[in-house]
Amino acid sequence: MGVFDGVMDFMARLGLGMRDDPVRVIDLAARTWGPTVDWAAVSIELIEQSDSEALPSVSAVLRNSGKVPVDLTVPGWLFFFTATVVGPDGAVELSPFGAQLLKPERRTERIEVHLQPGTGTEARIPVGQLFGLRAASSRKARYQVSVTCELPGGALVRSNEISV
C-alpha cells in the first residue's frame, strides 16, 4: 500500500473521507450449490469471522446456470432470500430484531439484477441477528441453515444446507 492509500485509509477510518471497499470476487466453482431450477441455482457459505464473538452470517449467491442473460427486478436481498434455521429442537423462530426488520411494510426496496450466463450475484445474510443465534464461542448446539428464493413466475429455488 502506498503512502497516499495509507493516508486515505486512515482518514476513512476516522470518518474524514470515503473509500471504496475492495471488489469481492465470487469463486462460483468452489461453492456447493442447491438444485438448479429453470435457469437459477443458489449457494450459501458461512462467512468466516476473525472475531470468535461475532454472530454468524452467510454469503448467498444466485447463479445464472442457463444459456441466456437474465434480467430480474427483486425485492431487497433480505426479502428475496428467505433463510431457514433448524436447531436441535426444530425450526428456530425469528428474533424480535429479525421480526421487526422483515415486516412486510419494510419491503420497499427494488433491485435490478442482470446476470450473464455462468455469473452470479452475492448477498450477505446476518442469520445470527435475524434468528438470535449466539456467537460460535458460546453456542452449545449446531444449527442447519438453508435459503430459498422465489423467481418471477413462482419457481422456488433452494440452496445447499450448511451447519453453523
Tell me the per-residue pLDDT of 20-46, one tens digit each, with 9 for 90 and over.
555 567 888 899 999 999 999 999 999
Confidence of residue 160 (pLDDT cuts 50, 70, 90): very high
User: Residue 22's CB: how many other CB atoms inside 10 A?
Assistant: 6
**pLDDT of 140 above 80:** no
Mean pLDDT, the chain, rounded, equals: 87
CA atoms within 13 A on the CB side of 11: 11
**Structural domain 24-163, CATH architecture:** Sandwich (2.60)
Instruction: Name the region of 23 (left: φ>0; alpha: ψ -120 to 50; beta: rest).
Output: beta
- Where exactly are the structural domains of the chain? 24-163
pLDDT mean over 87-110: 92
